Amino acid sequence: MKIVVHSIIPCDPDERAKDFYAALFPNWRFKSLPPNQFWEITDENGDYPHSIYLAMMKGEGTPATPTSYYAVSDIDAAIETAVSLGAELIVPKTPVPGKGYYAELLDVVKNNFGLWQDSPD
């Protein structure tokens, strides 16, 4: 299982950011996805879930800093463990229809991170 499954780069989904990352990482493929107006980014080896999913977006609910989401097999148990270790839950378990579930937390030194569980189907 991959460790990092999803990351968000908080920025307006404009051509400047896309062009910068496309030049820096030429194997990345960009797809604009309205109505949320964000760039879905995969690598040339394939689409989600076979490559790391990267989104470039801004707006309500978007983390203020770059955020990585870590794969877990049981998001409820992982949230419970993280909180028991001193993490703060900032976005509760949230479904992404047809894909899975995510949650966002602050670790014990206030770094934002996410947990991701693939949908069983």
Is residue 80 domain-shared with residue 32, that is, in the same domain?
A: no
Is residue 58 domain-shared with residue 33, that is, in the same domain?
A: yes
Structural domain of 45: 1-64
Q: Is the pLDDT of residue 103 over 70?
A: yes
- 15-29, 66-80, 81-95: the lowest-pLDDT one: 15-29
Highest mean pLDDT among 8-12, 27-31, 50-54: 27-31
pLDDT-based confidence at residue 50 (cuts at 50, 70, 90): very low
What is d(CA 18, CA 9) in angstroms, rounded to the nearest whole number? 11
Is residue 4 domain-shared with residue 60, that is, in the same domain?
A: yes
Over range 65-69, report the average pLDDT: 81
Is residue 41 domain-shared with residue 18, that is, in the same domain?
A: yes
pLDDT-based confidence at residue 27 (cuts at 50, 70, 90): confident
Domain edge (last residue) among 18, 41, 64: 64
Query: What domain count does the chain have?
Result: 2
What is d(CA 99, CA 64) in angstroms, rounded to the nearest whole number? 23
Q: CB-based contacts of 35: which residues, under 8 Å, 6+ apart? A: none
pLDDT given at position 12: 67
